Amino acid sequence: MFQAPVVPRLRKRSRAVEAGIQRHEEVKFEDVRLYLVEKKMGRSRRSFLTQLARSKGFIVDDILSDKVTHVVSEDSQASSLWAWLNGCGLKNLPMMQVLDISWFTDSMGAGRPVAVESRHLIQDTLPTLPEGSPPTAVATVSQYACQRRTTIENNNKIFTDAFEVLAESYEFNENEGPCLAFRRAASVLKSLPWAVECLGATEDLPCLGDHTKAVMEEILLYGRSLQVESILSNERYQTLKLFTSVFGVGPKTAEKWYRRGLRSFSDILAEPSIQLNRMQQTGFLHYGDISRAVSKAEARALGNIIDEAVHAITPDAILALTGGFRRGKEFGHDVDFIVTALELGKEESLLLDIIDRLKHHGILLYCDYQASTFDISKLPSHRFEAMDHFAKCFLILRLEGSQVDGGLNIAEGDSRGWRGVRVDLVSPPVDRYAYALLGWTGSRQFERDLRRFARSEKRMLLDNHALYDKRKKEFLAATTEKDIFAHLGLEYIEPWQRNA
Ligand code: UTP
Ligand code: MN
């Protein structure tokens, strides 16, 4: 005879109807609410362990919320676990026990939640604070990029790419406020060692306004932003983007050409009334090469070439790689160097001698030399983002494939065996070296915030030449970047942490 299976009737809890909360087993430990992290554990093991714990009277939530008291993980990489937890937007995270699976197995063995011992804890890997500092200091993100450490690893690229498009579009419309706002927001997100997984996680972050958050919410929900997509498909944006990608063409010129109905490079080159300046002619001539990223190996090869030239001229010259490559970037749009001579005044002729030598080697494809207009008596400068006054040159150099470790970064099918690369050389007097190095290392956003910090927090004026204390009415001397950070009362930030 067919017999109906005997199903035990279990007491159902009224709260258990909520999604993600266990339905069947009797709860024995009301005060303990577990969450098992799926990463490393895997879905099927997580589901097995969940059933096991529930059968022993534990509450196990499927969803991580502020109600959870114990987070259990099999991920032995504390940093990635904490990075993920920090991105979950929990308010109660500081109160949660974040535990290794050993606490879970001990508790299952004992049939009750065992006391948490230090061996069970998965410690956050954030650096410990000096004694006496408030416990929130670690979590606080400064509004100034010069008080944040930003490596080239960007955990929030989906947002920062979108912000960059928005910032650029506002820049094309000469709308400075929102442009800067999106640049600042992008910079804050770049500094986070974790990825933002929900909007709640951004609550304590500075520089994120309503507009920024709305864009982030759209990206979190749909993976894209309609405003960004409409900009990207906008003809004016596309054209201005194309035109400004030419060396020597800024937003103003691009706009002028756009207004005249020009839409492509061939439109410009076919227009008889357009007079290209020398820089723009070069820009079109070498467009393929200089719009192509420069690799780290290519930057190193150019470093060797410049080094040879500099030291053949002055044995006591100082040469330093600066710009993005000094910050550890893998690719750049150019390679930036600072050269100076130990003997004050000698730097003046140094650049022209280097240029001569490069020309002599037959590798100088383009050179725009700007003599020094530096005059210490005209300092301090109150102009924000003012160009510096040091002697400098903007070059295009011919780089041979044979000189580059691993070969050139060129298009497939390019059989020339060489490419053109943009190189900038700047030559400050040696007593201005630290300021020039700090200014040229960037990033642009890091520099902006260094100046803003100096002005607003310290009543000091900083630029590529000097630091001026307005209260004391004096210039502050520096021989290293560390001196400058110390004058500003800032913790030293390494070049590779300045990718703001
Ligand atoms: P870059 O434009 O070369 O940027 O300027 P980057 O960070 O190296 O990035 P890519 O990879 O080349 O695109 C380097 C730094 O030099 C400063 C800029 O502010 C930036 O921080 N700079 C540049 C000056 O201070 N004065 C200048 O005349 C030019
Ligand atoms: Mn650069």
Q: Give 304-328 as a 3 state SS string.
A: HHHHHHHHHHCCCEEEEEEHHHHCC
pLDDT of residue 1: 44
Backbone phi and psi for residue 11, each to the nearest 5 degrees, phi listed first:
-70, 125
For residues 187 and 214, give the distance between their C-alpha atoms in angstroms, rounded to a whole number.
17
Pocket of ligand 1 contains residue 440 by CB under 6 Å: yes
Total domains in the fold of the chain: 4
Which residue from 312, 336, 313 is spatially nearest to 324, judged by alpha carbons? 336
For residues 353 and 302, give the distance between their C-alpha atoms in angstroms, rounded to a whole number.
17
Task: Let me know: does 500 contact 145? Beta carbons within 8 Å.
Answer: yes
pLDDT of residue 138: 43
Task: Let me know: does 336 contact 322? Beta carbons within 8 Å.
Answer: yes
Residue 354 lies in a domain: yes
pLDDT (mean) for 157-172: 97
Residue 238 lies in a domain: yes
pLDDT of residue 135: 42
pLDDT band, residue 251 (cuts 50/70/90)? very high
* Residue nearest atom 9 of ligand 1, based on CA coordinates: 324
Q: What residues make up the domain containing 238?
A: 234-285
Percent of the chain with pLDDT over 70: 91
pLDDT (mean) for 481-491: 98
pLDDT of residue 7: 42
Question: Do 362 and 447 have their domain in common?
Answer: yes
pLDDT of residue 376: 79
pLDDT band, residue 136 (cuts 50/70/90)? very low
Q: What are the catalytic residues?
A: 334, 336, 424
Question: Do 56 and 87 have their domain in common?
Answer: yes
Question: Do 79 and 165 have their domain in common?
Answer: no
Residue 387 lies in a domain: yes
Q: Output the CA–CA distances (angstroms, integers) from residue 241 to 166, 237, 251, 254, in the order listed.
A: 12, 6, 9, 8
Question: Do 438 and 332 have their domain in common?
Answer: yes
Question: Do 318 and 268 have their domain in common?
Answer: no
Q: In a mutational test of the pocket of ligand 1, which residue from 168, 298, 336, 381 has the highest number of ligand atoms less than 8 Å from its CB?
A: 336
Structure-block tokens of residue 352 = 């022209």
pLDDT band, residue 77 (cuts 50/70/90)? confident
Question: Do 483 and 440 have their domain in common?
Answer: yes
Question: Do 34 and 152 have their domain in common?
Answer: no
Residue 227 lies in a domain: yes
Pocket of ligand 1 contains residue 463 by CB under 6 Å: no
Work out which ligand 1 atom sits closest to the CA atom of 439: 25
Pocket of ligand 1 contains residue 388 by CB under 6 Å: yes
CATH number at residue 271: 1.10.150.20
pLDDT of residue 427: 97
Residue 483 lies in a domain: yes
Q: What is the pLDDT of residues 286-340, one digit of tens each?
A: 999 999 999 999 999 999 999 999 999 988 899 999 999 999 999 999 999 999 9
Pocket of ligand 1 contains residue 336 by CB under 6 Å: yes
Q: In a mutational test of the pocket of ligand 1, which residue from 152, 329, 374, 440 has the highest number of ligand atoms less than 8 Å from its CB?
A: 440
Q: How far is the CA of 167 from the centre of ligand 1 (A)?
A: 18
CATH number at residue 97: 3.40.50.10190
Which pairing describes strands 467-469 and 59-61: parallel, antiparallel, or unpaired?
Answer: unpaired
HSE-CB of 156 using CA atoms within 13 angstroms: 31
Question: Do 380 and 253 have their domain in common?
Answer: no
CATH number at residue 311: 3.30.460.10
Report every protein residue that has its C-beta within 5 angstroms of ion ligand 2: 323-324, 332, 334, 336
pLDDT of residue 14: 40
Question: Do 226 and 245 have their domain in common?
Answer: no
Q: State the pTM of this model.
A: 0.78
Annotated binding site for Mg(2+): 334, 336, 424
Residue 7 lies in a domain: no
Question: Do 331 and 449 have their domain in common?
Answer: yes
CATH number at residue 155: 1.10.150.110
Q: In a mutational test of the pocket of ligand 1, which residue from 334, 383, 422, 426 has the highest number of ligand atoms less than 8 Å from its CB?
A: 334
* Residue nearest atom 20 of ligand 1, based on CA coordinates: 442
Residue 6 lies in a domain: no
Q: What is the pLDDT of residues 434-479, one digit of tens each?
A: 999 999 999 999 999 999 999 999 999 999 999 999 999 999 999 9
Work out which ligand 1 atom sits closest to the CA atom of 336: 3
pLDDT of residue 22: 59
Question: Do 95 and 59 have their domain in common?
Answer: yes
| pLDDT over 60 at 268, yes or no | yes
pLDDT of residue 126: 63
pLDDT of residue 425: 98
pLDDT band, residue 386 (cuts 50/70/90)? low
Work out which ligand 1 atom sits closest to the CA atom of 442: 21
Which residue from 317, 389, 301, 322 is spatially nearest to 354, judged by alpha carbons? 317
* Residue nearest atom 11 of ligand 1, based on CA coordinates: 332
Q: How far is the CA of 337 from the centre of ligand 2 (A)?
A: 9
Task: Let me know: does 231 contact 165? Beta carbons within 8 Å.
Answer: yes
Residue 404 lies in a domain: no
Pocket of ligand 1 contains residue 333 by CB under 6 Å: yes
Pocket of ligand 1 contains residue 113 by CB under 6 Å: no
Annotated binding site: 334, 336, 424
Question: Do 338 and 442 have their domain in common?
Answer: yes
